[in-house]
Structure 1
Amino acid sequence: MILYCWLLGGILYFISIYPPSAFVGTGLTINDLFFFILNHDLDSSNFISKIIYKAKITLITHVVLVSGYFTFMNYIYYIYFDIKNIFMILQMVILYTISFYVGYKLYLKTTLNNNVDDIILQLKKYARNENELNDIIKEIDEYYSNNVPIIHGDVEHTKIIILGNWLFKMELYGAKIAKLDDTELFLKETPSDTNKHPALSSLFCVEVRGIDYKYPPFDIILPFNVLEELNSRVKTSINTLLIEKHNKIANTFRQRISGNPKYTIRKEEEVDNCLGCLYNKANVIIRKNCTPIINELNSPLCEECHCRPLWCLRCLALVYESKCGKNIEDGVNPLFCKANCPTCRAYFCILDVSIIEEA
């Protein structure tokens, strides 16, 4: 019985913080319930007031849930208490330790100047007095009401919102805020296995850092199209870093396939532009050149690919890197690493990529 109650607490915790998308879409979350109970009408054009109120509701929700859960568990232990049961006493010690720790953390969030995600405290760093602070809030609210913000993410407290010259990384009890003309971006890594189509929509982990150190650096993960828009608004962009990173990947890929058989086409044969960048001409093709011997245990066998040339070396290199880069870094032989053809999804290895040459 007691173990089931512990399990119930864990489920409630995760559902309250990471509600299922179906519940979010229909408004059936615990936060929505508290919004309904408190019945507070917000002006939809006041962005700052809205996110501050949402943060407060989230905090109230968690305080009520935590208080109710620990009170319930205390009642359960009171009913089933057995002084001879050492395991039960240990559970009670753990329960009270966790309850005091969580209570202390929530107390810090409600105490002035202790919540690092407090929105007003962060905006005050860019204002010398209350009038300037009000002007900043008014500027953000006006942009929000007159323009469509750039929003990435589904869960409310993990969304990235770009409003003109401001970036908000939403958190449970507030947000991390960066003023973009005081910001520089640092490329950290490209997470692999996160996209169905890595060549077109790779995710990038980027560190957001204030040039004037008005806020501690924090990380965000964005798809390339959102990152491009953000990149155009910051003081120090990462275009150079991205180009250098992609050039290095392409050069390494070119070296690995340079010894493979060439694929010859006639001079009059027309070659399409690359499906990935839509700029370069397709100059590589996937054709099975390897033998079953070139295979590792539990690794899928290479398959026949009958696609016509549709990808340039650079974009196919990014596809291969997104699938195999981490394994190669971990010491796996590149010959044993398999990726999928971006068009037909056939498995191929590094030996199956041929550079196109005119006859």
Structure 2
Amino acid sequence: MVYVSKKSESSFLVYSSDNHNSTPDGTPGSIQFINIQVIPIRSRIKWFFVRIRSEDFKTLEEHIGHPIQIADNVKLQRSRTERFIEVFRDQVSQNPVYRGYSSAELAEDVCAGCLVNPPDVKLTKCCEDSNDIVNCTSCQCRPMWCVDCMAKWYESRQPQNDTTIWLSSKCTCPLCRQLFCILDVCPLENSDLAKTN
């Protein structure tokens, strides 16, 4: 049986979750499924349930266009991307502060990735060269990215089957394609990231 309800005429409630130690494709790792009750406003339409992976929750919420309620007893597992952004942000906040741009120069700018947050990082070579690997290069682009979007870009360019090497890997600038590592992502002076430095 197929149940249908207009999203604008329904409320949504995450009422339970369950965790599994292996993913559907057999790769090791933890996966969480959440159960969502769809409650139509019209009384003649019966309520029903939807089951999704917790990592798809934000996408569903964005598609619906309004917040989905979460029962107090349900704790959503953060996605791999959310966990990586947190680690990336922590590392960037420990990197040297870039002082080449003032907050006034970037006051009207927004991140090229999300178009919401102000740019708060600059790619500038800070790591040391090594004879064993391809070395990072200096990016000449002006600050255009917030740390969260830079983290998402960085993550998307890493081998998805081996998360253990992500922090020690390299990536290219989204614009000029110069090579950088996480040590080259510097918080801008006067940004919230620089204040935690």
For 1:354, which of 186, 190, 193 is the aligned residue? 186
Preserved CA contact (<8 Å) 2:121 2:188: yes
Work out whether 1:181 is the aligned partner of 2:18. no
CA RMSD of aligned residues (A): 4.6
Residue 282 of structure 1 and its aligned partner are, at CA, apart by 1.3
Q: Aligned partners of 1:182, 1:279: CA distance in 2, in Å?
A: 27
TM-score by length of structure 1 reads: 0.35
What are the equivalent positions in structure 2 for 1:1-359 lying under 5 Å apart? 121-123=1-3, 164-165=6-7, 181=11, 183-184=13-14, 207=33, 209-211=35-37, 215=49, 217-219=51-53, 227-230=61-64, 232=66, 234-236=68-70, 249-265=84-100, 267=102, 270-271=105-106, 272-293=109-130, 296=133, 301-324=135-158, 326=160, 329=163, 331-332=164-165, 334-335=167-168, 337-357=169-189
Residue 228 of structure 1 and its aligned partner are, at CA, apart by 0.4
Preserved CA contact (<8 Å) 1:183 1:211: yes
Aligned residue for 2:27? Answer: none
Residue 236 of structure 1 and its aligned partner are, at CA, apart by 3.9
Preserved CA contact (<8 Å) 1:180 1:233: no
1:302–1:180: structure 2 CA closer, same or farther, 3 Å change rule? farther
Q: Aligned partners of 1:290, 1:307: CA distance in 2, in Å?
A: 18
Unaligned runs of 5+ residues in structure 2 are 20-30, 39-46, 191-197
Unaligned runs of 5+ residues in structure 1 are 1-120, 124-139, 141-162, 167-178, 189-204
Residue 262 of structure 1 and its aligned partner are, at CA, apart by 2.4
Aligned residue for 1:151? Answer: none
Q: Aligned partners of 1:234, 1:259: CA distance in 2, in Å?
A: 35
1:224–1:251: structure 2 CA closer, same or farther, 3 Å change rule? closer
1:122–1:316: structure 2 CA closer, same or farther, 3 Å change rule? same
Q: How many residues align?
A: 164
Q: Aligned partners of 2:102, 2:161: CA distance in 1, in Å?
A: 39
SS at match of 2:165: coil
Q: Which has the higher strand share?
A: 2
Deviation string 1:245-296 (CA, Å, 9 cap, x unpaired) is: 8775444223323443321136475012222233332121011223441865
Q: Aligned partners of 2:49, 2:82: CA distance in 1, in Å?
A: 32
Supply the AA of the counterpart residue of 1:332: I
SS at match of 2:140: coil
Preserved CA contact (<8 Å) 1:285 1:353: yes
SS at match of 1:265: coil
Deviation string 1:47-83 (CA, Å, 9 cap, x unpaired) is: xxxxxxxxxxxxxxxxxxxxxxxxxxxxxxxxxxxxx
Structure with the greater alpha carbon radius of gyration: 1
Highest relative contact order (Cα 8 Å, sep 6+), 1 or 2?
Answer: 2
TM-score by length of structure 2 reads: 0.57
Residue 232 of structure 1 and its aligned partner are, at CA, apart by 1.9
Preserved CA contact (<8 Å) 1:180 1:235: no
Q: Aligned partners of 1:285, 1:332: CA distance in 2, in Å?
A: 23
Residue 317 of structure 1 and its aligned partner are, at CA, apart by 2.2
Q: Once the two structures are aligned, what percentage of the paired residues are identical?
A: 26
